[in-house]
Amino acid sequence: MGTAMFHVAAILVYRRRKIATVPISQPRVFPDSGFHCLDLTARFEEETLPDYSEERYYPIHIGEIFKSQYQVVTKLGYGSSSTVWLCRDLCNRRYLVLKVHVRTKRQPPEVGISNHLKAMQSTHTGKKYVRLILDAFEIPGPYGVHPCLLYEPAGIDIRDYIHGLEGDALPENVLRPTLRFVLIALDYLHQANIIHTDIQPNNILLGIDDDSILAEMEEDEISNPCPRKQLPDRTIYATRAMPLTSGEPILADLGEARLAEGKQTGLIMPGVYRAPEVSLGMDWDSKVDIWGLGQMAWTLFEQGHLFRTLSLETEAEKAQRIAEMISLLGPPPAEFLRRSQESLKFWDENGNWNSPVKIPEQSLEGRESRLETDNQVLFLRFLRKTLRWLPEERPTAKELLLDEWLRGDDY
């Protein structure tokens, strides 16, 4: 399972060049001029988010140093709950990724999950394929306290990676090893009683096998400062794109993970990947991650989602989703329906479909478009293992690693 398979020449990467870098133990001076100033009246980056409020975000600036140790180098991204930055660790002479959360009085749950995993001191191989928090601290902002999390740097997510591929999908010989890495990571988490709950393409990151690209990004920030919008009390910076890397995939974002033994309750998972036991209000366990992995496999390979994107907030939308599941997976067993009173909204007491929503006429074989004969049979057999109605009938991550299609010709 080498790393070279993840290189794609069609994607623009940073030119390899010799650069005279300043030792990471020394802070840098970043330019305060020579950049493009953006229109102050136009919304930009995090300002474009529906729930944006300047009081929620810490007004970070490039070159700022936190804890006398972490110097901000360039912006890597933003979201509704944080902004993300490349930074220098001046004490340990390395680059890290700094996530600065919006103001809150609560510690992000991910901190407790990471601490639990680090305390176990596991020797499981999957540990290296899960992105854990390296350090956590808080900083005071103008309107409140902001939690800050530090991670090892990683490359783009697998969703962005496939956008540069022909056909906007992973080839089969890249999909298989990608899923194997994720399953090794899941086996590690599940043995530690952690349920990820959010298996999807944007949480699978390509690893970085050459740290020099981070030094190049820093030098580019100095020689070619990113555009920015300078306001009286803050600066909104443009995100600098992470170059393509060819390291092994890493499972990231434990922000929705649960430390759990046995059954759990409550709404989890993105709607498009949500397991049926979650949609119907049943107890759930680590097998939701196996369902999510199967759905993600289809997305990465088939240029779209297995089920339509619905909010699942209304009974009508839930019925549409369940009808699609029945059409592709067959009807659920009676044992599954007995686990939730909500089942009676869609089936009668004898397990017959009892909804005005019609079950579509389709099959997995008809939907699958990239494989032929034996390869298709093996792929769909793998998929059906992950998408069984009864969670206990889905294999564990370790069991799924032995699947014939997943092993492919590499074994």
pLDDT value, residue 164? 84
Range of 87-101, 253-267, 297-311 with top mean pLDDT? 87-101
The whole-number pLDDT of residue 9 equals: 29
pLDDT of 13 over the 60 cut? no
Residue 56 scores a pLDDT above 50 = yes
Measured CA to CA, the distance from residue 163 to residue 48 in angstroms comes to: 23
CA–CA dist 134, 194 (Å, integer): 18
Cα first-last separation, the chain: 10
More confident residue, 312 or 8: 312
Domain ranges of the chain: 157-208+258-407
pLDDT confidence bin for 15, thresholds 50/70/90:
very low
**Which three-class secondary structure state does DSSP give residue 232?**
coil
For domain 157-208+258-407, give the CATH superfamily.
Transferase(Phosphotransferase) domain 1 (1.10.510.10)
pLDDT of residue 5: 38
Say which range, 22-31, 70-79, 177-186, 383-392, has the weakest mean pLDDT. 22-31
Rounded average pLDDT over 113-137: 96
Weakest mean pLDDT among 12-21, 174-183, 198-207, 270-279: 12-21
pLDDT classification of 410: cutoffs 50, 70, 90: low
Model-level pTM greater than 0.75? yes
Query: What is the per-residue pLDDT across 147-158, written as a single tens digit (0 to 9) for each?
Result: 999 999 999 999
Percent of the chain with pLDDT over 70: 94
Residues identified as active-site: 198
Q: Which strand (E) or helix (H) includes residue 348?
A: none
Which amino acid is it at 167?
Answer: G
Q: Is 99 labelled as part of a ligand binding site? A: yes
> Per the structure block, which two tokens stand in for 3?
């790393």
Please, are residues 323 and 329 in contact by the beta-carbon 8 Å criterion? Answer: no
> Token digits for 164?
């540069």
CA distance 150 to 154: 12
